Structure 1
């Protein structure tokens, strides 16, 4: 017995969700970049390490995906869902340290929100594109 395909949602239902999830993804992406930069430049105690080295190591994974995120590429958002887990884990670990608890909590919340919005954007964007191509 063959499994029947579930019908795709209508374009009128998908379009506002794609726009909202993309806007939330961009907002949380920029918020995470700003949080990491601000923390490492202004507040972090790096114990003599060069701040630009620490900052570049932390930002490189996010910045590699920047062109795709800015252009609205669904595959880049899907890859972002994998990469963002590193920042979620870093936020949890930072939240345990009393000196970095606020930073850790903010990083955890922003990375979780970014994961959810990027995941939803990926799902809805692929459905939207399939519906535009004429798939039922």
Structure 2
């Protein structure tokens, strides 16, 4: 028996997509700000700041053009940040930065993944 495909409401998907895009930019900017404050003002180094920010900046041109593949690549890049953040959160004596890093990375991962999905749904609904 074949599955029935549900009809997609383009207005609803567009609304969810807009919210997800805003959440992406808030969390993306939050991560960049966290790395800047953490490494340049609290006690890190420029070397660590570059190591943490360059991978995120690689996908920035595609994110500005709202390309689906850039959101997917961002998800793959964020897996590294999520893993590092969770490991650091579980270690005793770590600062608040690791918890914020984990939370921002997880929220950005989910919102980027859903943004990519909703972009495809909206494109398919409009064609």
- Report if TM-score (shorter chain) is over 0.5: yes
1:56 and 2:55 correspond: no
Work out the CA distance in 2 between the residues paired with 1:84 and 1:8.
32
1:13 Cα shift? Answer: 1.3
Runs of 4+ in 1 over 2 A off after TM superposition: 96-101
Q: Which blocks of at least 5 consecutive residues in structure 2 are unaligned? A: none
Distance across 2 between alignment mates of 1:40 and 1:98: 20
CA distance in 2, matches of 1:97, 1:117: 27
Residue number in structure 2 paired with 1:27: 26
Could you say which residue in structure 2 is the equivalent of 1:40? 39
The residue that corresponds to 2:81 in the other structure is 87
Bigger Rg over Cα: 1
Paired residues for 1:1-136 under 5 Å: 3-4=2-3, 6-44=5-43, 46=44, 51-133=45-127
61-70 vs 92-101, which moves further: 92-101
Tell me, in whole angstroms, the C-alpha distance in 2 between the residues paired with 1:86 and 1:110: 13
- The secondary structure found in structure 1 opposite 2:94 is helix
TM-score, normalising length: structure 2: 0.90
Distance 1:5 1:129 in 2: 20
Aligned length, in residue pairs: 127
SS of 1:81's partner is helix
Alpha-carbon distance in 1 for matches of 2:4, 2:49: 46
Q: 1:103 & 1:10 partners in 2: Cα distance?
A: 40
| Residues 25-72 of structure 1 deviation map (CA, whole Å, 9 limit, x = unaligned) | 11101111110111011123x5xxxx2222111111101011111222
